[in-house]
Chains A and B, each alone.
Chain A
């Protein structure tokens, strides 16, 4: 066997072993908790839904969209903030580490009902 051929064999063997190792490791590793995906729609002057429930310790992916204009998404109690831009889906990913009721509100002034534009995230044990 020529030297280049030996190297190729060695590479293929290493790759196969590594792949097998990956599969074994994957099978042995604890499964990642499922992601809680929640769609939130913003429009003047409310969020839909206006109350969402998620589980403590489980990853959350909030998918934020707006029907009309730029809005803000601010959850001071969970230290989350994003802007919801028209035509885009804004993802806010987090894993809640404490239970409770956390208000969120639009923090980009959007008109006369802006001050009423709020909702809540309930984090359950």
Chain B
């Protein structure tokens, strides 16, 4: 059963003001348990999620500051007093183009901008704009593999690719890879999944879905402490599938409306009175020993 999560205030953790949200990320837990046996010791840390920068997008009615939005977000991250352990980009770094040369030009430019982050550990995954036109070929040239795992301070991160297949599927090969990875884990291992599209069926008629995402959710379900961070829908959104929390991030080019709030999906027009409204990024504080997470949403500042 899917359930919306209620937001509540939470004290800010790292410098810039923002709207904060706390979640029992690793639910059903006993505080301080040494759940990371055999892996890195559990330690608190935080990371930043950037998403949907759509570098190369051009439409002044939607975002007349298109050239400045991603650099602005990076400047804000660089200004954090305490730097995050790493930054994740949850897809759609670039706006799609059918010209393979232009695609690579956009990826090269985006990569150069991202290199200005003070934090040098950056994890990438593709969105459909990056990868669906060539099955991820150009993305791999610039940003590496499209699905992989890594461990950080006791948390197991799984990066899933639900966009290189233009039908928005993970595919059997990746699902088998996921199954094999999960088979090595203790059921109490905290797991963070990073992906682009929602794994659950958020709004199928708006293409906000992963065709075989439920299979991945079913595989993750036996694990007690799982949370998913994703992009694609260009707005903050929180939902539960059973005990698994799914958190969508705002984008960095244009906001999209709430699902089914209007007849057709389309970018929300730029409001000159409120520039950058609906755009922003997220910091995620993994209070790992307490088995909780605190998310803080950072709307892009006007100035």
Contacts and interface: CB of A to CB of B under 8 A. Distances in A.
B97 interface: yes
Interface in B248-277: 264-266
B133 A109 contact: yes
B204 interface: yes
Interface in B121-172: 128, 132-133, 163, 166-168
Given A105-B207, A107-B207, A112 B98 contact: yes
B288 interface: no
19 contacts: A70-B166, A72-B167, A75-B205, A76-B205, A77-B205, A83-B167, A105-B205, A105-B206, A109-B128, A109-B132, A109-B166, A109-B167, A109-B168, A112-B95, A112-B98, A114-B96, A115-B265, A115-B266, A118-B205
Contacts of B264: 116, 118
Contact of A103 (B95, B205, B266): B205
Contacts of B167: 72, 83, 107-109
A116 B206 CA distance: 10
A111 B204 contact: no
A107 B132 CA distance: 11
Consensus secondary structure, chain A interface: mixed
Interface of B: 95-98, 128, 132-133, 163, 166-168, 204-207, 211, 264-266
Nearest to B211: A107
Say what secondary structure dominates the interface of chain B: loop
Interface residues of A, number: 20
A103 B265 CA distance: 11
A38 B77 CA distance: 54
A110 interface: yes
B139 to A, nearest CB: 13
Interface of A: 70, 72, 74-77, 83, 103-105, 107-112, 114-116, 118
Contacts, number: 45
Contacts of B97: 112
A70 B135 CA distance: 14
A77 B211 CA distance: 15
A46 to B, nearest CB: 12
Contacts of A75: 205
Closest 6 CB pairs of A and B: A109-B132, A76-B204, A109-B166, A103-B205, A76-B205, A109-B128
A83 B167 CA distance: 10
Contacts of B204: 74, 76
Contacts of A115: 207, 265-266
B265 A110 contact: no
Contacts of B207: 105, 107, 115
A111 B205 contact: no
Residue among B95, B96, B98, B207 with max Cβ neighbours from chain A (10 Å): B207
A103 B204 CA distance: 10
B206 to A, nearest CB: 8
B125 to A, nearest CB: 16
A112 B133 CA distance: 10
A107 B96 CA distance: 16
A107 B207 CA distance: 7
A25 to B, nearest CB: 43
A110 B132 CA distance: 8
B263 to A, nearest CB: 8
Contact of B166 (A74, A76, A108, A118): A108
A70 B167 CA distance: 10
A83 B204 CA distance: 16
Given A105-B207, A109-B96, 6 more contacts: A76-B204, A107-B168, A109-B132, A112-B95, A115-B266, A116-B266
